[in-house]
Amino acid sequence: MKVMLIAHTPEPERVVAAAAKLCYSNAHLDDLLEGLTPEKSREFLSKLASLGHESPTEHASFTFAIEGVSRALLAQITRHRIASYSVQSQRYVRLDQFEYITPPEVARDEQAREAFDAAMAEEAENYRRIAELLKDGHIRRLMQEGADEKTAARKAEKMAIEDARFVLPNACSTKMIVTMNARSLNNFFRHRCCQRAQWEIRELAGVLRDSPCTVCAQRPAVCIRRMPGGFNELRTCRRDAEEICFSQRRRNGLSGRLIVLEGLDGSGKATQAGLLYEALCGRGEQAMKITFPNYESDSSALVKMYLGGAFGQDVNDVNAYAASSFYSVDRYASYKTLWGCFYHDGGTVIADRYTTSNAVHQCSKLPREEWDAYLAWLFDFEYRKIAIPEPDTVVYLDVDPKVSQRLMSQRYHGDEEKKDIHEKNMEYLQHSRQAGQYCAKALGWKRVACTEGGRMRAKEDIHKDVLALIAKR
């Protein structure tokens, strides 16, 4: 597969910003572009994003040259109707020895690959034979009608391949030129970067997203990565483990499952999440993993301030309900922008921390007799009022705080100042463990003992225990 971005609207961000400026100000046409610096243009794009106003992005368009894709892909991409397509014609281009696209699953199976290649060779021979037979017949007829041999041969060639092409397979390689405006391109990414999209068009979407621009070679793909991304903070699925589906479609009645790995800091949640992801993918599940707090998002700002000590150096300086709300907002933002659609479309989401972390860490601030009331408030607030999904399975990685402290010190190379206000407070961690064990028992969480004899168990052994607790779909 080869893709080139061969043309685009000059200064696409500025053009869209000008359209937005016209919509929201009384600027005259002569003054429309005045003051639209790159920084000011991006401000307009951010405003559009906050308003959900997409139509100004239609004023920027992008043209790609694409080759080495199948006719099966052509049938899919042309469903995106607000676009222009020019495709290599099978009516005018003879394909005796056509190139073809081999699906990865076929390529990985030796017997399947042999059968596939044989089928392609047979279809190529059928195409050649039918074309020759038809051509000979057309030549005879045209010459009988008075055409000279050269003219008859030229006309017969086109007439023959026009009918012979009907035997060409979907795997047959083709070329095309595609033009889309930014809004249509954004829509294309939303649907085709999705992990549920067919493999070839998903690969094409990734290549389109990252293709170097032949117009502005010094700024690779600025008009793709920055323009739609700057407008909508577009998060597309990539083919690695942590990418998600941005598709805004939800299938009625279809939902995935949410698996949460919970535990104290240093309990190995991230490690076990990664191992579980690999195992579930190995089973054939569509899976992704997420982490809380989402420090890459602005939604975690209050969490960062809290953990950094901005509201007080002691964990009890911020009450359980206030601290919980910081984390809840971050989870809500993550659900709405990152993984919600993937989950509702049937995917398996593996979460390193979740609402369960509030249950563990904020309960510990409260007297024991208030735990049940707090948990009732917490789950009502997150699962019903702000309506993020409730986990299907929670696995609590139970670790001795003394061991986790030692592991965290190793993580920070002995620099205790790098620890947050939770990690520094041993008494708080002890209380959190007690709260975690209580929640695991009261709420039906699955518990895995991670320490033995004052040491951490091997991650492989812990993984086996975790995997045994995760039912197959």
Helix axes 426-443, 355-363, angle to 10 degrees: 120
Position of tokens 């000590």?
Answer: 309
19 or 450, higher pLDDT = 450
Model pLDDT for residues 420-441, shown as the tens digit of each residue: 555 556 787 888 899 999 999 9
pLDDT band at residue 20 using 50, 70 and 90 as cut-offs: confident
Q: What is the dihedral of CA 90, 95, 99, 103, to 10 degrees?
A: 50
How far apart, in whole angstroms, are the C-alpha atoms of residue 327 and residue 358? 8
Query: Is the confidence at residue 158, as pLDDT, over 50?
Result: yes
Name all domains of the chain by residue range, CATH numbers in brackets. 2-87+173-232 (3.30.1360.170), 104-167 (no CATH), 257-469 (3.40.50.300)
User: What pLDDT, on the 0 to 100 scale, is given for residue 31?
Assistant: 72
Rounded distance between C-alpha atoms, residue 22 and residue 19, angstroms: 5
Which helix or strand (DSSP H or E) is residue 247 part of?
none
Q: Do 101 and 145 touch, CB atoms closer than 8 A?
A: no
Q: What is the mean pLDDT of residues 82-100?
A: 85
What are the φ/ψ torsions at residue 458 (nearest 5 degrees)?
A: -60, 140
Name the residue with tokens 């790098």: 418
Looking at residue 401, its pLDDT comes to: 84
What CA–CA distance (Å, rounded) separates 365 from 371?
Answer: 9
Give the 3-state secondary structure of residue 69.
strand
User: CA-CA distance, 236 to 136, in Å (whole number)?
Assistant: 52
pLDDT tens, position by position, 342-394: 888 788 999 999 999 999 999 989 999 999 999 999 999 999 999 999 999 99
User: Please, which pLDDT band fits residue 285 given cuts at 50, 70 and 90?
Assistant: confident
The answer to whether the beta carbons of residues 467 and 276 sit under 8 Å apart is yes
Instruction: Give the active site residues.
Output: 192
Separation between Cα atoms, residue 262 and residue 93, nearest integer Å: 60
Q: How far is CA 444 from the centre of its chain?
A: 32
**140 SS3 class:** helix
The confidence band for 408, taking pLDDT boundaries of 50, 70 and 90, is: low
- The structure tokens 């607030």 sit at 381
Kindly state the helix (H) or strand (E) to which residue 367 belongs, with its residue range. none
Mean pLDDT, the chain, whole residue set: 82
Predicted TM-score (pTM) of the model is: 0.48
Instruction: With a cut of 60, say whether residue 232 has pLDDT above it.
Output: no
Contacts of 325 (CB under 8 A, 6+ apart): none
- What percent of the chain lies above the pLDDT cut of 70? 83
